[in-house]
Amino acid sequence: MYKRIILKLSGEALSGDKAVGFDDKTAQRTVTEIKGLLEKGIETALVVGGGNWWRGRSADSKMDRTKADSIGMLATVMNGIYLADMFRQNGVKAKVMTPVPVGNMTEVFSKDKALECLKAGEIVIFSMGLSHPFFSTDTVTALRACELEADAILYAKSIDGVYTADPAVDPNAVKLDELPCSEIVEKNLKVIDITAASLCAEHKVPLVIFAMAEEGAILKAAMGEKIGTTVTV
């Protein structure tokens, strides 16, 4: 069992079949699973994407990349605030932290404050990425994991692990139980972005990549059960 984790959720984990916006039923299932981690004594911080509102890479090609990424960062703030209130409704304290002030809606990230909250059994939600364009939510996930000395990063995705090829295209694709982080860096594999992979490799933070849709998947991954693909360091 891991003692402290960073859980990376896609924005789609909040939208369910709607694909856009929030689906309370889907979000409630996610919150219930995460609450189960706290009950096991696992310190848990979250990074949530913004894909249920906006994906910068799918913006019109004429759009300035900086502006597109800025919209995406704001989308993650909306998701963070929504999730924090879902936790409140379930009797769990949660704080949304951003790298820069967002009025009085979030708190500015502080390592000491984040650790204090985690040790008190609260959830910390990191939103707004690094507040700079060209850095993905993968990067801020890896950075916060290194800063907070997390035992592992859990990546909840729509696919149940890493395959030798795209299983939607190649019927012969095989799921990998383990994959060295160094291989992601050396071969520039599209598992997580290369900056995040480099940080994880350097600071020895393993990753577990698994399917969000599987019942109890988050708890299984956090308990160290064999699930999805483990990226070793």
- pLDDT tens-digit series, residues 56-81: 666 678 899 999 999 999 999 999 99
| pLDDT at residue 58, as a whole number | 67
- In this prediction, residues 50-57 reach a mean pLDDT of 84
Per-residue tokens: 37:
């981690």
**What pLDDT does residue 57 have?**
65
User: Region 80-109: what's the mean pLDDT?
Assistant: 97
> What pLDDT, on the 0 to 100 scale, is given for residue 105?
96
| Model pLDDT, residue 191 | 86
**Could you give the CA distance from residue 178 to residue 125 in angstroms, rounded to a whole number?**
28
Q: In this prediction, what percent of the chain has a pLDDT beyond 90?
A: 73
Lowest-confidence range among 68-72, 82-86, 110-114, 115-119? 68-72
pLDDT band at residue 27 under the 50/70/90 scheme: very high
pTM: 0.94
Predicted confidence band at 53 (pLDDT cuts at 50, 70, 90)? very high
Sorted by sequence, the CB contacts under 8 Å of residue 145 that are 6+ apart come out as 6, 152, 153, 199, 200, 203, 205
What's the average model confidence in pLDDT over 134-156? 96
Q: Which residue has the higher pLDDT, 10 or 59?
A: 10
What's the burial of 112, exposed, middle or buried (CB within 10 Å: 0-12/13-18/19+)?
exposed
How far does the chain reach from its first CA to its final CA, in angstroms?
17
Distant-in-sequence, close-in-space partners of 222: CB < 8 Å, separation ≥ 6? 1, 2, 5, 37, 40, 42, 44, 154
Q: For residue 168, what pLDDT is reported?
A: 83
Q: What is the mean pLDDT of the chain?
A: 93
3-state secondary structure of 19: coil
What are the pLDDT digits (tens) for 154-212?
999 878 889 988 888 888 989 999 999 998 888 888 888 899 999 999 999 999 999 88
* pLDDT value for 94: 98
pLDDT at 213: 80
Give percent of the chain with pLDDT exceeding 70: 98
